[in-house]
Amino acid sequence: APGLYLVATPIGSARDITLRALDILREADVLAAEDTRVLRRLLEIHGVPLAGRPVMSYHDHNGERMRPRLLTVLAEGKSVAYASDAGTPLIADPGYALAKSVSEAGHLVTTAPGPSAALAALSLSGLPTDRFLFAGFLPSSAGARSTALAELGRVPATLVFFETAQRCALSIREMIARLGDRDGALCRELTKRFEEVRRGKLSDLLNGVISDPPRGEIVLVVDRDRSEVGEAGIEVALREALETMSVK
Binding site for ligand SAM (CB under 6 A): 11-12, 84, 86-88, 91-93, 116-117, 162-164, 187-192, 217-219
59: left (phi over 0), alpha (psi -120 to 50) or beta: beta
Name 218's Cβ contacts closer than 8 Å, sequence gap at least 6: 162, 163, 164, 165, 168, 186, 187, 188
Nearer to ligand SAM among residue 57 and residue 191 (C-beta): 191
Q: Minimum Å distance from CB 129 to ligand SAM? A: 17
Q: Which residue number has the CB closest to ligand SAM?
A: 87
Euclidean distance between the first and the last CA atom of the chain, given in angstroms as a whole number = 45
* Phi, psi dihedral angles at 38 (to 5 degrees): -65, -40
What does DSSP say about strands 183-188 and 217-222: parallel, antiparallel, or unpaired? antiparallel
Q: Minimum Å distance from CB 69 to ligand SAM? A: 23
Nearer to ligand SAM among residue 6 and residue 73 (C-beta): 6
Name 49's Cβ contacts closer than 8 Å, sequence gap at least 6: 26, 43
Nearer to ligand SAM among residue 111 and residue 116 (C-beta): 116
For residue 49, the number of C-alpha atoms closer than 13 Å in the C-beta half-sphere is 2
Nearer to ligand SAM among residue 73 and residue 186 (C-beta): 186
β-strand partners of 112: 7
Q: Minimum Å distance from CB 155 to ligand SAM? A: 19
Question: With the C-alpha atoms ordered 151, 220, 232, 239, is the resulting torsion angle positive or negative?
Answer: positive
Give yes or no for a contact between 184 and 174, defined as CB atoms under 8 angstroms apart. Answer: no
Residue 15 burial (C-beta neighbours within 10 Å; 0-12, 13-18, 19+)? exposed
Q: Minimum Å distance from CB 161 to ligand SAM? A: 8
Nearer to ligand SAM among residue 91 and residue 155 (C-beta): 91
Nearer to ligand SAM among residue 43 and residue 190 (C-beta): 190
Cα–Cα distance list, 51 to 25, 30, 43, 82 (Å): 11, 11, 11, 17
Nearer to ligand SAM among residue 30 and residue 218 (C-beta): 218
